Structure 1
Amino acid sequence: MPSFELNGRTYETDEDGYLANLTDWSQDVAGYLAKTEGVDMSESHWEVVNFLREYYDEYKIAPMIRILTKAIGKKLGKEKGNTKYLYDLYPGGPAKQACKIAGLPKPTGCV
């Protein structure tokens, strides 16, 4: 199984780089994953990551982009609940890339 080392600890991932164990996630791990994805985390990035983690805690699933966009729009407002805004933050795919940084499984429907 693939893995990476951070602060003297080894973290296992799947073949796409998603954490194998959701409880291994921390802000440090998120920062490392963001760096590997070429994402410079801002307050807006963290807002999406925290939203995704709350969503996962409630529904036990990582949302696809359409569901993510709609749910963010409901909670954070229309200006943030649109694909352009989310792709500006996560150009590798808002659901796919943001879920990886949030320590969640790859959303269903993501290639």
Structure 2
Amino acid sequence: MIIKKKKKKKNEWNEKYAINIAKNAGIKMTLKHWKIIYFARNFYLKFNISPPIRILLQAINKKSKKKINSLSLIKLFPNNPSIQISKISGIPNPNKCL
């Protein structure tokens, strides 16, 4: 018998869920991680589309004194930032995500 995992709906997401997903990916969540996760999540909830990395970086840098770049994201989310951010945020992968 195969048991399928029920996917989280966007309204079922919470920080405990995010921490578990991150932990399984070997990521220890910090304030920098949460800033990105909440931005991606809020973007999705507002526009009903996951933010591509380029838009995510531009928007975060617009609001933040300390700028981040794609290398910063790779350090925070080492195994494909787009997918890891989406998973931890409980949102779909961006359309152009490989």
Moved more, 62-71 or 21-30: 62-71
Alpha-carbon distance in structure 1 between the residues aligned to 2:96 and 2:74: 17
Where in structure 1 are there 5+ consecutive unaligned residues? 4-11, 14-18
Q: Which has the higher contact order (CA 8 A, sep 6+)?
A: 2
Using structure 2 for the length normalisation, give the TM-score: 0.85
Aligned residue pairs: how many? 96
Identity of aligned residues (%): 35
Higher helix share: 2
Q: In structure 2, what is the Cα distance between the partners aligned to 1:2 and 1:25?
A: 19
Map of 1:59 onto structure 2: 47
Higher strand fraction (1 or 2): 1
Alpha carbon RMSD of aligned pairs, Å? 1.7
**Separation of aligned partners in 2, 1:71 and 1:93:** 19
Task: Provide the rounded CA distance (Å) in 2 between the counterparts of 1:98 and 1:44.
Answer: 12
Gaps (5+ residues) in structure 2?
A: none
- Does residue 97 of structure 2 align to residue 110 of structure 1? yes
Runs of 4+ in structure 1 displaced over 3 angstroms? none
